[in-house]
Structure 1
Amino acid sequence: MGLTRRTFIQQMGWALTTLGVSESLVLWADRYQQAIAQPTRRKLALLIGINQYAEQVCDYAVPKGSVLNGSVTDVALQQELLIHRFGFQPSDILTLTDQQATRQSILDAFQAHLVQQARPGDAVVFHFSGLGSRIRLEGAFEQAEPNGSNLEYNSFVPVDGWLPTPENPVIHDIPEETLGWLLRSISTDQIITILDTSHTSLGRTLQGNLRIRSRPSTPSGRLDELEEVLQDQLSRETGISKAKIHAQWRSGQVPGLLLSAAHANQIAAEAQWSGFSAGLLTYALTQQLWWATPATTLYFVPNSIGFTRVRLDQASQLLSSGIAKGFASSPNADGVIHAVDEEGKAQVWLAGLPAAVLENYGASVLAISSSGVSPQSSTQSLQDFTHPTLHQIRSREGLMFKTRLISEADRPLVGQWVQEQVRILPRSVGLTVAIDASLERIERVDATSAFSAIPRVSSVIAGEQPADFLFGKNQSAYPLTASLDPSTPSAQNGYGLFYPSRDAILSTLIQDDEAVKTAVNRVTPELKTLLATKWLRLTENQGSSRLGVRVTLERVGLEPISSSQIKPQPLKPQALMHRETVRSIWTAPESDPALGDAKLTLSVGSQIQYRLANYGDRPVYFVLLGLNAAGNAIAFYPGEADMLEQTILAPGESVTVPPSEPGWKMQTAGLAEIHVVFCSAPLTQTYQTLATTRPKTDTQRVVLLTNPLEVVQALLQDLHQASAPLVLALPKVEVPADTYALDVNTWATLSFVHQVV
């Protein structure tokens, strides 16, 4: 029996619901003030990342390379962030990766580095990336389950977490309860625990084109004797029984702040991009903390992954916790300089931009402050970027970029922050489609052949290389029931396209049997729509834009008719979420505090609108483009009369889209993705191209697009032309032919993704 849509959303919590424990920032406000008032406090971190598990540990054949690919990258992402954004001393950060991360080494490091060194008021960060597991323990924690019916518990898998055998039925994992006791042994309440792992077993290792971070099985056995001795010792020292520590984990009662990529019955995953892989939680969290400020409301979407955005209230709490000393006085940034040679060429760690953008970053230009360095050395103000030193990117390896100095200024210094100045994107960007590994070999061969004939489209086998979307069969209505194990027979349903998470793009699915090549030909027109969507994602720049704009997603509609009413009355708009630029020199107006209680799912039949606000000092023009929940391209069409005048937003003004009741009605379940693009110059070519899709009436409304790729290409050209005067004024900038050069002072793209159920 398939999962219901609502059940699926609950199980995919790492993609669709709030992460962590608390949704409120109020409890952390005082802690933030205390943090910045104690500049001499110590900060300690233990970061663990494991990719290279043996088959006897992970319980499946190790794929080409290693079991996981992004856990060690997660450690590097956290380490760079803690040092250069939060002022940790490198000597206070201990990392254990791959073969270093044995069970005993992890436990010893936790005791020696955190428990024995931390003092009241210190800040502590513990991070684990790797496999999690469910384990079935013989006679463990009997008192935790009065009826004795549930003997399964969560564990973290060390590199030597050997599976039990009949000859040696011992489980070598680290039980979740042990971590709970260890956390409660630390002499400070300023603790941040980040767990980019999961425990739920789905019986497979892939979810679409994502790699699952949990064992595909549930081993049975007993705990190691040393583990039992340790637990008894920790229980006595903390005064917390085994039953109580188990119950505390289940209820989320963890010291300090817990950021978890998955809750009970949910999965965590890692994605691969060009040149690197990373955990979805870790990359999204660290990326946005590079450019966030304590007042920023954080959201994330792994670009090109296609998940609904996640409200990271916990990330905002992270900013207001004990690790944020010096954070408030520093500007946001996109990366940091790692090394500089005698000619002024630099190596830049650039983890503050969306991963999909980095894949296509070309010869982009970065602004480097003449005085600001990471907070462990000094502080920096936004004014430092008024006359920046400019560097242009020459090459890239993973998250490290080599640049050359292009402005007449002092040589850059190691530790200086960098911010995006000009985004240079190739016009030849194409689409990569992953072919579902669960298809039969002949199906995969036919699909590869069919996609090779489509211009600007390439294909790979799921799980082997990065991809924008997935081609497969509609094995089930819901991703969690769609097995990607190649040994599992394919369901007899139609082919279609999916996001890499295996969320279906409904407009591409049919139930009829058809040949693979026929199916590829059928979805070929949709590939143009998806390529247009990829282009829109490449313009997203909430963190780097210098325009002063905000967009709020609101629920609208009509109240039910009461006995005293003749007709339904409009509901007061309810703010659900907002996006705003964070690098503008203008101060954004205060946001609605009710946003903290917003849910990111909408019911079919709900009505919404977008409220656009300009808090800068210059007029901006706007356009709204995206995909509805069915996967169809849509746009806000302003009408024929005075088109450009209707899409201009003066300083201090706001407008709603659609501009009148009853709003935009959600008619189909699925994922909807909307991008609101602002520009300091008229979007002339965009609206000329948009006008070729003429609605039947001349009124403003959201319409289906028949030419989405042409519209988006026109938009990119408008942004390119608007940026040209600023780019040409920059000294020695080389703009390669056949590229778009977009200056952050001219445009802003704020993006929304929501689930309709």
Structure 2
Amino acid sequence: MKWDRRTFLQALLTWGIAQGSTIRPSYNSKFYRYHKALAESTNRKLALLIGINTYTKNLSLKGCLTDIERQKDLLVNRFGFHPTNILTLANEQATCQNIKNAFLEHLVNQAKTDDVVLVHFSGYGTQVKIPSNRISPVSDYSVLTQGIIPSEGNQLNKNITLTNNILQETLFLLGKLVDTEKLTMVFDTSYYSTGEINQGNLRVRSLPYQVSEANTDELVWQAELKSKIQNSGISNDYGTILSAAGIGQVATEIKGNDFSVGLFTYALTQYLWSVTPASRINIALNKATEEVLPIVGESQKPQQQNSTQKSLFAYYLLPINFQGAEALIDHAEDLDNIQIIFTGISADILRHYGLNSIFHTMSSNPLSFFQLHSRDGLKGKVHQISKGTRIYQPDLIGQLLQESVRCLPRTLGLTVALDSKLQRIERVDATSAFSVIDIVSDITNDEEKPVDCILGLLASFPFSTSSSESLNSSEKSKYGLFLPGGVQFPNTSGKTGEAIKSAVGRLHPNLEKLLAVKLLRLTVNESSSKLLCSINLEGLNPEPYPIDKRETNRNKIFTSQIGEIKDNPYEISNLQGLPKVARGTRLRYCLHNQGDKTLDFIIFGINSNGKVIAYIPAHEKEIELKAQGASFLKPGMKNAIPSTSSGLTWTTSSTRGWEQILLIASIYPFYNTWQALKKIPEFKIEKDQIIILNDPLSIAKALLEDLNTASIQINKRIMSNSDTYNLDVKAWSTLSFIYQII
């Protein structure tokens, strides 16, 4: 078969690229050589990156410059942009006029047909009034439209009407003037105002002030752009638009240890760094949504607006490297002081990423290994611990590193924030009550600190529930636990008139569940795991139908021929947002061990009621450290869970919300986990079971101990350590599903 461009792209889609799935062909294959030719296209790649932190003192943002730094690193080192073709406007450089000039001079005047163009904006957005006599008859807007705030916003205060905005429609019109259909615009901003600077513990990127009228000059210039487009017969659409939040929602910034960053930008770039090797943009967006949801719930849903030409891949590009990466070497003083930038690690995992974690090079044979010895925000320093193929210092810069060993602290606890609207006596009493709960490691009033949850009043959080009904006065005075983004954890609100010390005591079991879920999520490693396994999520209605699929790919070599390719039933090419599953739907999980090692496994579910559920497969006999019963997943084996013969059913909750499923597989038996499970009265080792875990924390800790033991067995560099769990990516795999219950 002839490998022309059309055939190549069709093959990619058929192989499952569209479902966030990935391909790693043989490096000697014609497929690989053609991929490299496309990835290193001679067409120009242009980018305009705009980030503004420095508005007025009370309104300053903190993560916008980090956003554009992450985008630039991604574009240069993953997608092959030349640094000179990336124009950055930061802080005071990003004036209204400079943004428009940069769009015209850097993009409109330079871009040619089939060039790739990316525009990114991080900063404040707002709603803007357009006088009724100025509204275009073809506009989708009535009285209010959306706009971004350039750096002249430094003069903003509550007594000044804003006029220095740039209307979003103006940016769309400028996009039409760019002579390519391969335009992507990313807006990590929002326009809906809650009147607050923060939502929960996160900074909001919507201006908290009232809407203003659009600048007359802006409207005049917009009319001139429309006239130019009409007279020139330009038919370009305005490209693919990616927005951090939907209508009536807010975009937020998250905090890590010594860094702030846009939640959407981090999630999107992290996925694009880690995916192997390419993904459709709608799948990338869905993956980003999965990262956003556990932090802000459904109050921030990233959105996609496609052009008339369907975007095959994120940013209309194939990456220049097949394999994803967790780190990038940025600078090297010598082989003992090498600075790295963390790239493909999720924000929650990176927050607790421990010293002594190990990375390895991608291309050298044998591999060279580097160990983390210091951390500073999104950067760290490593030293070389195994020479592998000798790498000279100048050749280190720009090298991509993959995760080899993940170190996590054993003493990990919860950081709890106190609602800023609590009275002083409430804060004192809450702090005293938390001090006797050993799983709470820190109580903070610091809004700059990353937290796991917030203790507060329902009245303090406008997005506290998913219900559209407003709370009555008695409900507002109830205490509850909230996500960092201000959304309430299910079933954590108490009674009216409850003392805050009593509330803390009542919430102790909820806190244990939160920590258990946190520990389980820290094991997710779909992108970096070297075990080859997959899991299909199916609904039963009553016949099975596909919902979603997860699989590891980092160690996979693709060997199929074109003639063997079949359509992927899990390809949901038009999927927008997370998969939606009806309440009470029966589910089935289809596991496939694609590697050469026998796997032990367990499945955890966190349902929309906040309960933790586990599926435990039967074993023929008591598990011993070196004995593997017949119910383990052997190489090549497939297993449907729950099986028809077991008589078990796994159904979604009857409550609207979202649920997460975690499949955890290991090359070593879950000995400690089974010992912890045996303490549950109804647990029977010889039969398949689905159990609600009332004490999931002990199970989660035992499971981490098992993964640590498995890693020690296969990696001589790992020593038993009382301070950390040391997890080798060749020893385990954790695959995660998140879906909406409707």
Please name the residue that 2:733 is paired with: 748
- Aligned partner of 1:576 in structure 2 is 547
Q: Given that residues 537 and 548 in structure 2 are in contact (C-alpha distance below 8 angstroms), is that contact kept between their aligned partners in structure 1? A: yes
1-side partners of 2:407 and 2:662: how far apart?
A: 19
Note closer, same or farther for the CA distance 1:511–1:318 as it changes in structure 2 (3 Å cut). Answer: farther
Q: Does residue 604 of the first structure (1) align with residue 595 of the second (2)?
A: no
Q: Is 1:97 aligned to 2:90, yes or no?
A: yes
Q: Which residue of 2 aligns with 1:433?
A: 416
Q: Does 1:273 align with 2:256?
A: yes
Which of the residues 187, 206, 219 maps onto 2:198?
206
Per the alignment, residue 473 of structure 1 pairs with 457
Q: Find the counterpart in structure 1 of residue 632 from structure 2.
A: 648
Q: How far is 1:749 from its partner?
A: 0.7
- The 10-residue stretch of structure 1 (614-623 or 733-742) with the greater mean CA deviation from structure 2: 733-742
Check conservation: 1:206, 1:463, Cα contact below 8 A.
no
Alpha-carbon contact 2:39-2:79 (below 8 Å) kept: no
1:130 to 2:119 alignment: no
1:719 counterpart = 2:710: no
Alignment of 1:526-541 (within 5 A): 526-541=510-525
Q: Render the CA deviation track for 1:178-222: whole Å, top value 9, x for unaligned.
A: 101111111111111111111112222222222221112332334
Correspondent of 2:604 among 625, 631, 656: 625
Name the CA distance, whole Å, in 2 between partners of 1:221 and 1:125: 29
What is the CA–CA distance in structure 2 between the aligned matches of 1:155 and 1:310, rounded to whole Å?
19
Which residue, 638, 653, 656 being the options, matches 1:669?
Answer: 656
- What CA distance in whole angstroms lies between the structure 2 residues aligned with 1:167 and 1:419? 52
Q: Distance in 1 between matches of 2:159 and 2:501?
A: 51
1:543 Cα offset (Å): 0.9
Tell me what 2:272 maps to: 289
Distance 1:90 1:690, change over 3 A: same
- Residues 695-718 of structure 1: CA deviation (Å, up to 9, x unaligned): 377752321112211111111111
CA drift of 1:425 comes to 1.2
Could you tell me how far 1:406 is from its partner in structure 2?
Answer: 0.6
Q: How much does 1:228 deviate?
A: 3.4
RMSD after superposition: 3.6
Q: Does 1:420 align with 2:403?
A: yes
Equivalent position SS for 1:44: strand
For the residue of structure 2 that corresponds to 1:506, the secondary structure is: coil
Match of 2:443 in 1: 459
Deviation of 1:24 after TM superposition, in Å, equals 7.5
Cα distance, 1:417 vs structure 2: 0.6
Give the whole-Å Cα distance in 2 for the aligned partners of 1:399 and 1:165: 33
Rounded to whole Å, the distance in 1 between the matches of 2:212 and 2:455 is 36
Residue-by-residue CA offset, 1:242-289 (whole Å, 9 max, x unaligned):
xx99xx9xxxx9522211112322322221122211112111111011
TM-score scaled by length of structure 1: 0.82
**Structure 2 partner of 1:187:** 179
Runs of 5+ unmatched residues, structure 1 = 1-22, 27-31, 56-61, 370-381, 558-570
Greater shift, 340-349 or 504-513, is seen at 504-513
Hey, what's the Cα distance between the residues in 1 that align with 2:398 and 2:332?
Answer: 10
> Against the structure 1 CA distance between its residues 453 and 38, is the aligned structure 2 distance closer, same or farther, given a 3 Å change threshold?
closer
Q: How does 1:56-455 map onto structure 2 within 5 Å?
A: 62=58, 67-139=60-132, 141-144=134-137, 150-161=142-153, 171-225=163-217, 227-239=218-230, 254-296=237-279, 298=284, 299-300=287-288, 301-302=290-291, 305=295, 307=297, 320=313, 324=317, 327=319, 329-369=321-361, 384=363, 387-408=366-387, 409-411=390-392, 413-455=396-438
Q: Find the counterpart in structure 1 of residue 691 from structure 2.
A: 703
| Alpha carbons 1:494, 1:513 under 8 Å: kept | yes
1:173 maps to a residue whose letter is N
Shift in alpha-carbon separation, 1:716–1:662, aligned structure 2, 3 A? closer
Q: Name 2:53's counterpart in structure 1.
A: 51
Which residue identity does 1:118 align to in structure 2? Answer: A
State the distance in 2 between where 1:132 and 1:92 align: 26
- Residues 367 and 419, structure 1, Cα contact 8 Å, conserved in 2: yes
SS at match of 1:532: helix
Tell me which amino acid in the other structure corresponds to 1:710.
Answer: S
**CA distance change for structure 1 residues 310 and 694 in 2, over 3 Å: closer, same or farther?**
farther
User: Which of the numbers 487, 492, 506 marks the counterpart of 1:508?
Assistant: 492
- Alpha-carbon distance in 2 for matches of 1:293, 1:623: 26
Cα distance per residue 1:345-378 (max 9 Å; x no partner) = 2101112111122222222444443xxxxxxxxx
Aligned residues: 677
Letter in 1 for 2:694: T
After superposition, the Cα gap between the structure-2 partners of 1:90 and 1:295, relative to the gap in structure 1 and judged at 3 Å, is closer
Q: Measure, in 1, the Cα distance between the counterparts of 2:540 and 2:47.
A: 45
Contact 1:507 1:630 survives alignment (8 Å): yes
Change (3 A) 1:474 1:671: farther
AA in 2 matched with 1:430: G
- Amino acid aligned to 1:194: V
Distance 1:302 1:462, change over 3 A: farther
What is the deviation of 1:160?
0.9
Structure 2: distance between partners of 1:50 and 1:432: 29
Contact 2:71 2:269 in 1 (8 A): yes
Q: Secondary structure at the match of 1:171?
A: coil
* Separation (CA, whole Å) in 2 of partners of 1:616 and 1:262: 39
Quick check: 1:193–1:258 contact (8 Å CA) kept in 2?
Answer: yes
CA contact (8 A) 2:199 2:461 kept: no
One-letter code aligned to 2:192? T
Measure how far apart 1:53 and its partner are: 1.1
Deviates more, 1:687-696 or 1:79-88: 687-696
**1:735/1:39 CA distance change after superposition, 3 Å:** farther
Cα deviation, 1:92-137, whole Å, max 9, x if unaligned, reads: 1111122221111111111111111212221111000111110112
- CA distance in structure 1 between the aligned counterparts of 2:173 and 2:302, rounded to whole angstroms: 29
Paired-residue identity, %: 35
Match of 1:9 in 2: none
Which letter maps to 2:703?
A: L
CA spacing shift, 1:662–1:668, aligned 2, 3 Å:
same
Superposed displacement of residue 320, structure 1? 2.4
TM-score between both structures, scaled by the size of structure 2: 0.83
Q: Aligned letter for 2:222?
A: Q
- Relative to 1, partners in 2 of residues 1:79 and 1:267: Cα closer, same or farther, differing over 3 Å? same
Residue 39 (structure 1) aligned with residue 24 (structure 2): no
1:709-731, Cα deviation, whole Å (9 max, x unpaired)? 11111111111111103331x4x
Report the CA distance between 1:653 and its aligned residue: 2.2
SS for the counterpart of 2:420 is: coil
Alpha-carbon deviation of 1:474? 3.1
The structure-2 alpha-carbon separation of the partners of 1:480 and 1:524, relative to structure 1 and needing over 3 Å to count, comes to: closer
8 Å CA contact retained: 2:536, 2:589: yes
Cα separation, 2, equivalents of 1:404 and 1:38: 31
Decide whether aligned partners of structure 1 residues 594 and 324 sit closer, same or farther in structure 2, where only a CA change above 3 A counts: closer
Provide the rounded CA distance (Å) in 2 between the counterparts of 1:447 and 1:259. Answer: 41
Note the C-alpha offset of 1:237. 1.8
Amino acid corresponding to residue 586 of structure 2 in structure 1: Q
- Taking the aligned partners of 1:205 and 1:489, their CA distance within structure 2 comes to 24
Q: Report deviation, 1:747.
A: 0.4
Contact 2:181 2:237 in 1 (8 A): no
CA contact (8 A) 2:124 2:148 kept: yes
Where does structure 2 lack aligned partners over 5 or more consecutive residues?
1-16, 21-33, 561-566, 624-628
